[in-house]
Amino acid sequence: MKVALRFETILVHESGEILSGGILHIPASKIDPHGVMASLTYCRRGSLMAACGIAPEDDGGNLATERAGSVVKKPQTKEYTFYIPGKDPQEVSDVLTWQAKFDQMSEQLVNSSLNPEDKISKLKALVDANQPTLNRLPITVKMQYIGKQATRINTVKGQSNETN
C-alpha cells in the first residue's frame, strides 16, 4: 500500500484576493508515523515556499532521495519556448532568457495604453499560453511567476480603481 500526502497552500489578502500555490503531491517514504510526518514536513515546507516563490537554501530533499537510491530526474531538453498569444512561439536556449522575455512582455502590457480590462485579459492569456514552459520549471519558480502576474494584475486593478 502506498501512502501519499496532498497539500495546498492558499494565501488570502485582506482585500479578498486569493493566490493558490497549487496542490503538491508527495509520497510518504514509509508507512509509519515517522515516515508520514517527515513527508508532511517536506510537503508543508515545499508548498509554502512554492506559494511565496522562495528557493530553499539547502538541497536536503534531493540528498535524502539520493541516499534512498532514487534518481532525481532532470528535464531532457534545455530549450524553452516563449509563447505570445497570437504569434509564433520563440525558442530560447535557457530559462533565464525565457524569464527575461516573460517579464519584459508582462511589463510592456502593464505600461501599455490598453484599458485595464484588456491589460488583465492579456496578462492572464500570457500565463495560459506559457503553461507548457511553466510546467517544466521547478515549482518554486513556477509559483514565483504566477505570483508576479497576480501582483501585476492587482496593480492594474488598483490603477483602474484610482481613475474611477
Tell how far CA 131 is from the center of its chain: 10
Q: Evaluate whether 98 touches 92 at the Cβ level (below 8 Å).
A: yes
- 124 and 160 inside one domain: yes
User: What is the number of structural domains in the chain?
Assistant: 2
Of 44, 73, 102, the residue that ends a domain is: 73
pLDDT tens for residues 122-144? 888 988 898 888 888 888 888 88
Cell 511553466, residue located:
134
More confident residue, 79 or 84: 84
pTM of the model: 0.51
- In which domain, by residue range, is 25 found? 1-73
Mean pLDDT of 12-24: 78
- 86 and 69 inside one domain: no
More confident residue, 134 or 28: 134
Of 45, 73, 101, the residue that ends a domain is: 73
Judged by average pLDDT, the poorest of 96-105, 106-115, 154-163 is 154-163
pLDDT band at 41 (very low <50, low <70, confident <90, very high): confident
pLDDT at 104: 92
Of 73, 101, 127, the residue that ends a domain is: 73
Q: CA–CA separation, 123 vs 83, rounded Å?
A: 12
